[in-house]
Amino acid sequence: MRSRPEWLLFVGAAAFVGLHTVVDTLIVPQQGTRWNDHLAAALVPLALLSAAAASYPRLQPGARAALAAVLGVLSIEGGALAIADVSRGPGRAADWTGFFLGPAGLALCGLAMVELRRPSKRSGHRYLRRGSIAVASVLAAFSLVLPVGLALYATHRPRADVAAADLGAPYRTVTVRTSDGLDLAGWYVRSRNGAAVISFPTRVGKLDQTRMLVRHGYGVLVLDMRGYEGSDGSPNAFGWGATKDIDAGVAWLRRQLDVQAGRIGGIGFSVGGEQMLEAAADNPHLRAVVSEGAGERSVRETLMYGWRAALAVPMSTVKTAALAVLSGTAPPPSLEDVAARISPRSLLLIYAGRGAGGEDLNAAFYRAAAQPKAIWRIPEARHVGGLNARPREYERRVVGFFDEALLGRKAR
Protein backbone atom coordinates (compact mmCIF):
# COMPACT_ATOMS: atom_id res chain seq x y z
CA MET A 1 0.00 0.00 0.00
CA ARG A 2 1.25 3.46 -0.87
CA SER A 3 2.20 6.04 1.74
CA ARG A 4 0.13 9.22 1.87
CA PRO A 5 2.75 11.62 0.36
CA GLU A 6 3.27 9.34 -2.63
CA TRP A 7 -0.48 8.96 -3.10
CA LEU A 8 -0.92 12.72 -3.01
CA LEU A 9 1.89 13.16 -5.54
CA PHE A 10 0.45 10.68 -8.05
CA VAL A 11 -3.17 11.84 -7.71
CA GLY A 12 -2.12 15.51 -7.79
CA ALA A 13 -0.05 15.04 -10.95
CA ALA A 14 -2.81 13.01 -12.61
CA ALA A 15 -5.34 15.71 -11.69
CA PHE A 16 -3.15 18.40 -13.24
CA VAL A 17 -2.77 16.37 -16.44
CA GLY A 18 -6.55 16.04 -16.48
CA LEU A 19 -6.97 19.79 -15.99
CA HIS A 20 -4.68 20.52 -18.94
CA THR A 21 -6.59 17.99 -21.04
CA VAL A 22 -9.86 19.82 -20.34
CA VAL A 23 -8.30 23.22 -21.13
CA ASP A 24 -6.63 21.96 -24.31
CA THR A 25 -9.68 20.19 -25.74
CA LEU A 26 -12.82 21.82 -24.35
CA ILE A 27 -12.03 25.30 -23.04
CA VAL A 28 -9.41 26.56 -25.53
CA PRO A 29 -9.63 24.29 -28.60
CA GLN A 30 -7.67 24.85 -31.78
CA GLN A 31 -8.63 27.82 -33.94
CA GLY A 32 -11.65 27.08 -36.10
CA THR A 33 -12.80 24.12 -34.00
CA ARG A 34 -15.41 23.76 -31.28
CA TRP A 35 -15.36 22.04 -27.91
CA ASN A 36 -17.63 19.24 -29.10
CA ASP A 37 -15.13 18.37 -31.85
CA HIS A 38 -12.79 17.00 -29.15
CA LEU A 39 -15.05 15.02 -26.83
CA ALA A 40 -13.17 11.74 -27.30
CA ALA A 41 -9.81 13.49 -26.81
CA ALA A 42 -11.12 14.80 -23.47
CA LEU A 43 -13.26 12.00 -22.09
CA VAL A 44 -11.04 8.99 -22.86
CA PRO A 45 -7.86 10.42 -21.23
CA LEU A 46 -9.90 11.59 -18.23
CA ALA A 47 -11.37 8.10 -17.84
CA LEU A 48 -7.91 6.51 -18.06
CA LEU A 49 -6.47 8.96 -15.52
CA SER A 50 -9.33 8.21 -13.13
CA ALA A 51 -8.81 4.48 -13.54
CA ALA A 52 -5.06 4.87 -12.93
CA ALA A 53 -5.64 6.87 -9.73
CA ALA A 54 -8.19 4.35 -8.47
CA SER A 55 -6.01 1.29 -9.17
CA TYR A 56 -2.72 2.78 -7.95
CA PRO A 57 -3.10 1.73 -4.26
CA ARG A 58 -3.80 -1.90 -5.11
CA LEU A 59 -0.80 -2.39 -7.40
CA GLN A 60 2.57 -3.87 -6.54
CA PRO A 61 5.52 -1.42 -6.35
CA GLY A 62 6.79 -2.43 -9.79
CA ALA A 63 3.42 -1.83 -11.42
CA ARG A 64 3.05 1.50 -9.60
CA ALA A 65 6.49 2.48 -10.87
CA ALA A 66 5.54 1.59 -14.45
CA LEU A 67 2.28 3.53 -14.19
CA ALA A 68 4.02 6.62 -12.82
CA ALA A 69 6.79 6.38 -15.42
CA VAL A 70 4.37 6.11 -18.38
CA LEU A 71 2.34 9.09 -17.21
CA GLY A 72 5.52 10.98 -16.38
CA VAL A 73 7.17 10.51 -19.78
CA LEU A 74 4.00 11.50 -21.65
CA SER A 75 3.59 14.56 -19.41
CA ILE A 76 7.15 15.66 -20.14
CA GLU A 77 6.45 15.31 -23.86
CA GLY A 78 3.30 17.40 -23.47
CA GLY A 79 5.26 20.12 -21.71
CA ALA A 80 7.94 20.10 -24.41
CA LEU A 81 5.29 20.45 -27.13
CA ALA A 82 3.74 23.44 -25.34
CA ILE A 83 7.15 25.14 -25.12
CA ALA A 84 7.87 24.37 -28.78
CA ASP A 85 4.51 25.78 -29.82
CA VAL A 86 5.15 29.08 -28.07
CA SER A 87 8.75 29.31 -29.29
CA ARG A 88 7.54 29.19 -32.93
CA GLY A 89 4.74 31.71 -32.61
CA PRO A 90 2.17 33.22 -30.26
CA GLY A 91 0.93 29.81 -29.18
CA ARG A 92 -2.41 29.23 -27.46
CA ALA A 93 -3.78 29.89 -24.00
CA ALA A 94 -3.71 26.13 -23.39
CA ASP A 95 0.09 26.24 -23.64
CA TRP A 96 0.23 28.00 -20.27
CA THR A 97 -1.11 24.93 -18.49
CA GLY A 98 1.04 22.82 -20.75
CA PHE A 99 4.19 24.50 -19.42
CA PHE A 100 3.63 22.83 -16.05
CA LEU A 101 3.30 19.35 -17.49
CA GLY A 102 7.10 19.11 -17.58
CA PRO A 103 7.60 19.55 -13.80
CA ALA A 104 4.66 17.24 -13.13
CA GLY A 105 6.20 14.63 -15.40
CA LEU A 106 9.57 14.89 -13.71
CA ALA A 107 7.90 14.43 -10.33
CA LEU A 108 6.14 11.31 -11.60
CA CYS A 109 9.39 9.88 -12.96
CA GLY A 110 10.98 10.52 -9.55
CA LEU A 111 8.05 8.72 -7.93
CA ALA A 112 8.64 5.79 -10.28
CA MET A 113 12.24 5.53 -9.09
CA VAL A 114 11.08 5.53 -5.46
CA GLU A 115 8.57 2.78 -6.15
CA LEU A 116 11.20 0.68 -7.91
CA ARG A 117 13.33 0.69 -4.79
CA ARG A 118 10.41 -0.30 -2.57
CA PRO A 119 10.45 -3.99 -1.57
CA SER A 120 7.59 -6.08 -2.91
CA LYS A 121 5.31 -8.12 -0.65
CA ARG A 122 5.70 -11.01 -3.02
CA SER A 123 8.37 -13.57 -2.30
CA GLY A 124 11.15 -14.24 -4.70
CA HIS A 125 14.66 -13.23 -5.52
CA ARG A 126 15.10 -9.45 -5.45
CA TYR A 127 17.39 -9.26 -8.49
CA LEU A 128 15.18 -11.57 -10.53
CA ARG A 129 12.19 -9.40 -9.70
CA ARG A 130 13.99 -6.21 -10.64
CA GLY A 131 15.26 -7.77 -13.85
CA SER A 132 11.74 -8.81 -14.78
CA ILE A 133 10.54 -5.27 -14.07
CA ALA A 134 13.28 -3.85 -16.30
CA VAL A 135 12.30 -6.15 -19.18
CA ALA A 136 8.61 -5.34 -18.70
CA SER A 137 9.44 -1.61 -18.67
CA VAL A 138 11.29 -1.85 -21.99
CA LEU A 139 8.39 -3.75 -23.56
CA ALA A 140 5.93 -1.19 -22.19
CA ALA A 141 8.02 1.63 -23.65
CA PHE A 142 7.90 0.13 -27.13
CA SER A 143 4.31 -1.11 -27.05
CA LEU A 144 2.66 1.79 -25.19
CA VAL A 145 4.75 4.88 -24.52
CA LEU A 146 6.32 5.14 -27.99
CA PRO A 147 3.10 4.78 -30.07
CA VAL A 148 1.06 6.98 -27.71
CA GLY A 149 3.88 9.50 -27.71
CA LEU A 150 3.86 9.53 -31.52
CA ALA A 151 0.10 10.06 -31.52
CA LEU A 152 0.46 12.87 -28.98
CA TYR A 153 3.03 14.63 -31.15
CA ALA A 154 0.97 14.06 -34.32
CA THR A 155 -2.08 15.74 -32.81
CA HIS A 156 -0.15 18.57 -31.11
CA ARG A 157 2.42 19.32 -33.80
CA PRO A 158 3.80 22.87 -33.27
CA ARG A 159 3.00 25.25 -36.10
CA ALA A 160 5.92 26.71 -38.06
CA ASP A 161 6.32 30.38 -38.91
CA VAL A 162 5.59 31.18 -42.55
CA ALA A 163 7.64 34.01 -44.04
CA ALA A 164 7.36 35.59 -47.48
CA ALA A 165 9.04 33.38 -50.07
CA ASP A 166 10.33 33.38 -53.64
CA LEU A 167 8.01 31.25 -55.76
CA GLY A 168 9.55 32.25 -59.06
CA ALA A 169 6.68 34.60 -59.95
CA PRO A 170 4.36 37.04 -58.17
CA TYR A 171 1.83 35.35 -55.91
CA ARG A 172 -1.07 36.34 -53.71
CA THR A 173 -2.09 35.13 -50.29
CA VAL A 174 -5.43 33.33 -50.41
CA THR A 175 -7.89 31.75 -48.00
CA VAL A 176 -9.59 28.50 -48.98
CA ARG A 177 -12.76 27.43 -47.16
CA THR A 178 -13.37 23.73 -46.51
CA SER A 179 -16.72 21.94 -46.55
CA ASP A 180 -16.58 21.60 -42.75
CA GLY A 181 -15.99 25.32 -42.18
CA LEU A 182 -12.21 25.67 -41.77
CA ASP A 183 -10.15 28.48 -43.32
CA LEU A 184 -6.94 27.24 -44.94
CA ALA A 185 -3.99 29.53 -45.67
CA GLY A 186 -2.34 29.41 -49.07
CA TRP A 187 -0.34 31.15 -51.77
CA TYR A 188 -1.32 31.18 -55.41
CA VAL A 189 0.73 31.81 -58.55
CA ARG A 190 -1.44 32.38 -61.63
CA SER A 191 -1.36 29.86 -64.45
CA ARG A 192 0.16 30.74 -67.82
CA ASN A 193 -0.75 27.48 -69.58
CA GLY A 194 -4.32 26.96 -68.33
CA ALA A 195 -3.39 24.25 -65.82
CA ALA A 196 -2.82 24.44 -62.06
CA VAL A 197 -1.36 22.15 -59.39
CA ILE A 198 -2.02 22.00 -55.64
CA SER A 199 1.12 21.58 -53.52
CA PHE A 200 0.41 19.93 -50.17
CA PRO A 201 0.64 19.83 -47.09
CA THR A 202 2.45 23.05 -46.14
CA ARG A 203 3.88 26.31 -47.45
CA VAL A 204 7.15 25.53 -45.64
CA GLY A 205 9.78 23.22 -47.08
CA LYS A 206 9.01 22.22 -50.69
CA LEU A 207 9.13 25.52 -52.57
CA ASP A 208 11.77 24.30 -55.06
CA GLN A 209 9.10 22.06 -56.57
CA THR A 210 6.74 25.04 -56.75
CA ARG A 211 9.32 27.13 -58.61
CA MET A 212 9.93 24.21 -60.95
CA LEU A 213 6.26 24.04 -61.92
CA VAL A 214 5.96 27.82 -62.19
CA ARG A 215 8.87 27.88 -64.66
CA HIS A 216 6.85 25.64 -66.95
CA GLY A 217 3.77 27.84 -66.84
CA TYR A 218 1.71 26.01 -64.24
CA GLY A 219 -0.39 27.82 -61.70
CA VAL A 220 0.44 26.56 -58.21
CA LEU A 221 -1.71 26.68 -55.08
CA VAL A 222 0.56 26.02 -52.09
CA LEU A 223 -1.77 25.04 -49.25
CA ASP A 224 -1.36 24.55 -45.51
CA MET A 225 -3.15 21.44 -44.28
CA ARG A 226 -5.66 21.86 -41.45
CA GLY A 227 -3.88 22.47 -38.15
CA TYR A 228 -0.66 23.36 -40.00
CA GLU A 229 1.03 26.76 -40.01
CA GLY A 230 -1.62 29.39 -40.91
CA SER A 231 -4.67 27.14 -41.30
CA ASP A 232 -7.55 26.54 -38.91
CA GLY A 233 -8.16 23.17 -37.34
CA SER A 234 -6.42 20.62 -35.17
CA PRO A 235 -3.19 19.13 -36.52
CA ASN A 236 -2.79 15.49 -37.41
CA ALA A 237 0.66 14.71 -38.77
CA PHE A 238 -0.74 11.53 -40.33
CA GLY A 239 -3.28 13.58 -42.30
CA TRP A 240 -6.46 11.76 -41.35
CA GLY A 241 -9.46 13.67 -42.68
CA ALA A 242 -7.41 16.20 -44.63
CA THR A 243 -8.71 15.14 -48.05
CA LYS A 244 -11.38 17.78 -47.42
CA ASP A 245 -8.57 20.34 -47.68
CA ILE A 246 -7.49 19.12 -51.11
CA ASP A 247 -11.13 18.99 -52.24
CA ALA A 248 -11.50 22.61 -51.12
CA GLY A 249 -8.36 23.56 -53.06
CA VAL A 250 -9.70 21.88 -56.19
CA ALA A 251 -13.03 23.70 -55.85
CA TRP A 252 -11.18 27.00 -55.39
CA LEU A 253 -9.05 26.44 -58.51
CA ARG A 254 -12.11 25.58 -60.59
CA ARG A 255 -13.38 29.12 -59.92
CA GLN A 256 -10.20 30.81 -61.18
CA LEU A 257 -10.41 32.33 -64.65
CA ASP A 258 -6.83 31.37 -65.51
CA VAL A 259 -7.50 27.64 -64.97
CA GLN A 260 -9.26 25.67 -67.68
CA ALA A 261 -11.72 22.87 -66.93
CA GLY A 262 -10.13 19.46 -66.51
CA ARG A 263 -6.63 20.82 -65.92
CA ILE A 264 -6.15 20.54 -62.15
CA GLY A 265 -3.50 18.31 -60.60
CA GLY A 266 -1.83 17.81 -57.26
CA ILE A 267 1.59 17.06 -55.82
CA GLY A 268 1.92 15.84 -52.24
CA PHE A 269 4.90 15.10 -50.05
CA SER A 270 4.98 12.47 -47.28
CA VAL A 271 1.60 12.78 -45.50
CA GLY A 272 0.56 15.11 -48.32
CA GLY A 273 1.31 12.37 -50.81
CA GLU A 274 -0.92 9.98 -48.90
CA GLN A 275 -3.74 12.52 -48.88
CA MET A 276 -3.31 13.16 -52.60
CA LEU A 277 -3.91 9.47 -53.27
CA GLU A 278 -7.10 9.45 -51.23
CA ALA A 279 -8.35 12.71 -52.74
CA ALA A 280 -7.71 11.48 -56.29
CA ALA A 281 -9.68 8.31 -55.59
CA ASP A 282 -12.85 10.28 -54.83
CA ASN A 283 -12.56 13.62 -56.62
CA PRO A 284 -13.04 13.40 -60.41
CA HIS A 285 -11.92 17.01 -60.86
CA LEU A 286 -8.41 16.18 -59.61
CA ARG A 287 -7.12 14.78 -62.90
CA ALA A 288 -3.52 13.86 -62.05
CA VAL A 289 -1.51 13.45 -58.84
CA VAL A 290 2.14 13.01 -57.93
CA SER A 291 2.60 11.30 -54.58
CA GLU A 292 6.12 11.42 -53.16
CA GLY A 293 7.04 9.59 -49.96
CA ALA A 294 3.69 8.00 -49.09
CA GLY A 295 3.87 5.18 -46.56
CA GLU A 296 2.20 3.90 -43.41
CA ARG A 297 -0.53 6.04 -41.87
CA SER A 298 -2.40 3.45 -39.79
CA VAL A 299 -2.32 -0.22 -38.85
CA ARG A 300 -4.02 -0.99 -42.18
CA GLU A 301 -0.77 -0.31 -44.05
CA THR A 302 1.24 -2.22 -41.42
CA LEU A 303 -0.89 -5.30 -42.10
CA MET A 304 0.13 -5.14 -45.77
CA TYR A 305 3.53 -6.57 -44.76
CA GLY A 306 1.87 -9.83 -43.69
CA TRP A 307 3.77 -12.11 -41.33
CA ARG A 308 6.83 -9.83 -41.48
CA ALA A 309 4.89 -7.25 -39.45
CA ALA A 310 3.89 -9.61 -36.65
CA LEU A 311 5.98 -7.75 -34.07
CA ALA A 312 5.02 -4.31 -35.39
CA VAL A 313 1.25 -4.81 -35.48
CA PRO A 314 0.63 -4.42 -31.71
CA MET A 315 2.48 -1.10 -31.55
CA SER A 316 0.85 0.12 -34.76
CA THR A 317 -2.56 -0.84 -33.38
CA VAL A 318 -1.97 1.18 -30.22
CA LYS A 319 -0.78 4.16 -32.28
CA THR A 320 -3.83 3.96 -34.55
CA ALA A 321 -6.19 3.76 -31.58
CA ALA A 322 -4.46 6.67 -29.82
CA LEU A 323 -4.62 8.77 -32.99
CA ALA A 324 -8.32 8.02 -33.39
CA VAL A 325 -9.02 9.13 -29.82
CA LEU A 326 -6.83 12.24 -29.80
CA SER A 327 -7.92 13.42 -33.25
CA GLY A 328 -11.57 12.42 -33.06
CA THR A 329 -11.20 10.96 -36.56
CA ALA A 330 -11.77 7.38 -37.68
CA PRO A 331 -8.78 5.61 -39.24
CA PRO A 332 -8.69 6.13 -43.03
CA PRO A 333 -8.89 3.30 -45.57
CA SER A 334 -5.80 1.41 -46.61
CA LEU A 335 -3.78 3.21 -49.26
CA GLU A 336 -3.74 -0.03 -51.24
CA ASP A 337 -7.53 0.10 -51.47
CA VAL A 338 -7.37 3.82 -52.23
CA ALA A 339 -4.89 3.31 -55.09
CA ALA A 340 -7.24 0.83 -56.73
CA ARG A 341 -9.91 3.56 -57.05
CA ILE A 342 -7.78 6.35 -58.60
CA SER A 343 -8.12 5.36 -62.26
CA PRO A 344 -8.99 6.92 -64.69
CA ARG A 345 -7.07 9.78 -63.02
CA SER A 346 -3.33 9.70 -63.73
CA LEU A 347 -0.95 8.62 -60.96
CA LEU A 348 2.81 9.00 -60.47
CA LEU A 349 4.32 7.41 -57.36
CA ILE A 350 7.80 8.50 -56.26
CA TYR A 351 9.63 6.98 -53.32
CA ALA A 352 13.11 6.98 -51.84
CA GLY A 353 15.43 4.03 -51.51
CA ARG A 354 16.64 5.48 -48.21
CA GLY A 355 13.23 6.63 -47.01
CA ALA A 356 11.30 5.73 -43.89
CA GLY A 357 7.82 5.05 -42.62
CA GLY A 358 6.81 2.33 -45.05
CA GLU A 359 7.82 4.00 -48.33
CA ASP A 360 8.60 0.62 -49.84
CA LEU A 361 4.83 -0.04 -49.82
CA ASN A 362 4.61 2.17 -52.91
CA ALA A 363 5.32 -0.93 -55.00
CA ALA A 364 2.13 -2.49 -53.59
CA PHE A 365 0.18 0.73 -54.18
CA TYR A 366 1.37 0.66 -57.79
CA ARG A 367 0.29 -2.95 -58.30
CA ALA A 368 -3.16 -2.14 -56.91
CA ALA A 369 -3.65 0.90 -59.17
CA ALA A 370 -4.94 0.72 -62.72
CA GLN A 371 -3.66 2.65 -65.72
CA PRO A 372 -2.64 5.37 -66.30
CA LYS A 373 0.08 5.00 -63.69
CA ALA A 374 3.84 5.24 -63.25
CA ILE A 375 6.30 4.61 -60.43
CA TRP A 376 9.84 5.83 -59.80
CA ARG A 377 12.15 4.57 -57.07
CA ILE A 378 15.20 6.77 -56.40
CA PRO A 379 17.72 4.49 -54.65
CA GLU A 380 20.02 7.18 -53.23
CA ALA A 381 17.29 9.62 -52.17
CA ARG A 382 16.13 10.22 -48.63
CA HIS A 383 12.52 10.77 -47.62
CA VAL A 384 10.85 13.25 -50.05
CA GLY A 385 14.34 14.11 -51.33
CA GLY A 386 13.85 13.20 -54.98
CA LEU A 387 14.46 16.69 -56.36
CA ASN A 388 17.67 17.06 -54.37
CA ALA A 389 18.95 13.63 -55.43
CA ARG A 390 18.25 13.93 -59.17
CA PRO A 391 17.12 17.48 -60.01
CA ARG A 392 17.15 17.21 -63.83
CA GLU A 393 15.48 13.83 -64.01
CA TYR A 394 12.93 14.84 -61.36
CA GLU A 395 11.96 17.92 -63.35
CA ARG A 396 11.74 15.94 -66.60
CA ARG A 397 9.58 13.20 -65.07
CA VAL A 398 7.24 15.35 -62.96
CA VAL A 399 6.72 18.15 -65.47
CA GLY A 400 6.39 15.61 -68.28
CA PHE A 401 3.76 13.73 -66.26
CA PHE A 402 1.65 16.86 -65.77
CA ASP A 403 2.20 17.97 -69.37
CA GLU A 404 0.79 14.69 -70.65
CA ALA A 405 -2.04 14.32 -68.10
CA LEU A 406 -3.23 17.93 -67.96
CA LEU A 407 -2.15 19.50 -71.27
CA GLY A 408 -2.28 16.49 -73.57
CA ARG A 409 1.36 16.83 -74.56
CA LYS A 410 3.32 13.67 -75.19
CA ALA A 411 5.93 13.26 -72.45
CA ARG A 412 9.52 13.11 -73.56
Position 2 scores a pLDDT of 47
What is the DSSP secondary structure assignment for residue 315, as one 8-state letter? Answer: H
CB atoms within 10 A of CB 261: 9
Position 263 scores a pLDDT of 98
pLDDT tens string 230-255: 999 999 999 999 999 999 999 999 99
pLDDT tens string 167-207: 999 999 999 999 999 999 999 999 999 999 999 999 998 99
User: In 3-state terms, the chain is what percent helix, strand and coil (to 5)?
Assistant: 55, 15, 35
Mean pLDDT by 10 residues, the chain (412 residues): 73 93 92 88 95 89 86 94 82 82 93 78 58 64 85 93 94 97 98 98 95 98 96 96 97 98 97 98 98 97 92 93 95 97 98 92 98 98 97 98 92 54
| Helix (H) / strand (E) containing 365 | helix 362-368
Domains of the chain by start residue, with CATH: 4-154 (no CATH), 172-297+332-407 (3.40.50.1820)
Position 87 scores a pLDDT of 80
Position 126 scores a pLDDT of 60
Longest dimension (CA), the chain: 80
pTM of the model: 0.92
Position 134 scores a pLDDT of 60
Position 411 scores a pLDDT of 55
